[in-house]
Amino acid sequence: MRPVPAFDKLSVLLHPPRVHAYRFSVAPMMERTDRHFRALARAVSKRCLLYTEMVMGRAVLSGRAERDLAFDPAELPLVMQVGDNDPGRLAQCARIAQDRGFTELNLNCGCPSSAVRDGAFGARLMMEPGRVADAVAAMKGACSLPVTVKHRIGVDELDRYEDMLRFVDVVTEAGCDAFIVHARKAWLHGLSPKENRNVPPLRPQDVHRLKRERPSLRIELNGGIESSDAVVAALEHDDAVDGVMVGRAIYRDPLAFADVDARVYGDPEPAVTTEHVLETMLEHTRRWVEGGGRVHDVSRHIHGLFLGRPGGRKARRVLAEAGAGADLSTLRRAAGMLNADRTP
């Protein structure tokens, strides 16, 4: 353990670090973390914190986001992530988030897409900590939910550790309850959103340093975490963060995180099984179809369950061939392919 600077010792005495309830979360991802993938993630981890895809503040207020805001209580704890920069609109969104039963409200300060940049929200907001502070204060004033911010370690030329620290300090003053830090900077020009998730190098050390220097804040690490080993390592680091958020890796291979509740929360079951997750998803699909939904809405998210598993390639082929025409029997057939390679 590195020595704690004197001002931090005082800070620790005044605000002893707490163990936060949500040590593992699944990142908000547009086109991915809809209610169907969230049902899958919940089957993998009973304890993780889930997020909606980013919903635009204007869409929430105009009623255009109904589909994105609907959820099943089984998905809780669930955070509504909003993209906007107007404190008044965000305050109204906060009331709606609370009325609908979300667990927390999160402001997106990390998205670098050109539409978001031109609308002056997402990662662009890191250039305006005062505006983010006003937004957080407005949201806090309008609801009693925790209000959190998801951001990058930097944006464009504003990418020194001290720039991020200033951002965090200013937003903390407004009462922000947690910072979820994607440990790479974003370039607002010249890189696509996808490149902005891969090209700028990861600097998780900046996030651990932030936790070391601001021990009373809830600081979560995001970016490039590929396994439950890596989740545990970040939570057991000398400068351990309070939580770890995983995005692409859990979407690609959900069962790589099957032991996360056991390892992160000490749950007695060693790991969830593929069968359990598949059964849950079959039941979820049955109810969704009964309510008028399409099997494909769900099946497009479950390919990852078959990754690298015996019979998995055949199962994926069954789903791919059925495509949008998949029905419940397609799903059962795909599930039945698992372990098929083992049968003589």
Ligand X SMILES: Cc1cc2nc3c(=O)[nH]c(=O)nc-3n(C[C@H](O)[C@H](O)[C@H](O)COP(=O)(O)O)c2cc1C
CB of 110 vs ligand X, minimal distance in Å:
5
Alpha carbon distance 221, 210 (integer Å): 10
Rule CB under 6 A: say whether 32 interacts with ligand X. yes
Residue from 108, 113, 196, 274 binding ligand X (CB under 6 A): 108
Rule CB under 6 A: say whether 253 interacts with ligand X. no
- Least Cα distance to 171 among 139, 206, 207 occurs for 139
235 vs 337 by CB, closer to ligand X: 235
CB of 93 vs ligand X, minimal distance in Å:
15
Question: Phi and psi (nearest 5°) for 300?
Answer: -65, -20
Token representation of residue 343:
């049968």
* CA 214 from centre of chain: 22
CB under 6 A: which stretch of 11-19, 87-95, 245-253, 263-271 binds ligand X? 245-253
CB of 108 vs ligand X, minimal distance in Å:
5
CB of 184 vs ligand X, minimal distance in Å:
8
CB under 6 A: which stretch of 9-17, 26-34, 154-162, 281-289 binds ligand X? 26-34
Question: Scanning residues 308 to 327, which ones bind ligand X (CB under 6 A)?
Answer: none
Rule CB under 6 A: say whether 113 interacts with ligand X. no
183 vs 240 by CB, closer to ligand X: 183
Alpha carbon distance 257, 260 (integer Å): 5
CB of 292 vs ligand X, minimal distance in Å:
26
CB under 6 A: which stretch of 10-18, 68-76, 218-226, 278-286 binds ligand X? 218-226
Rule CB under 6 A: say whether 185 interacts with ligand X. no
111 vs 278 by CB, closer to ligand X: 111
**Which residues, including other chains, have CB under 8 Å from residue 249's CB and lie 6 or more apart?**
225, 226, 227, 256, 257
Residue numbers annotated as active site: 111
In the complex, which residues of this chain contact ligand X (CB under 6 A)?
A: 27-32, 53-54, 81, 108, 110-111, 150, 182, 197, 222-225, 246-249
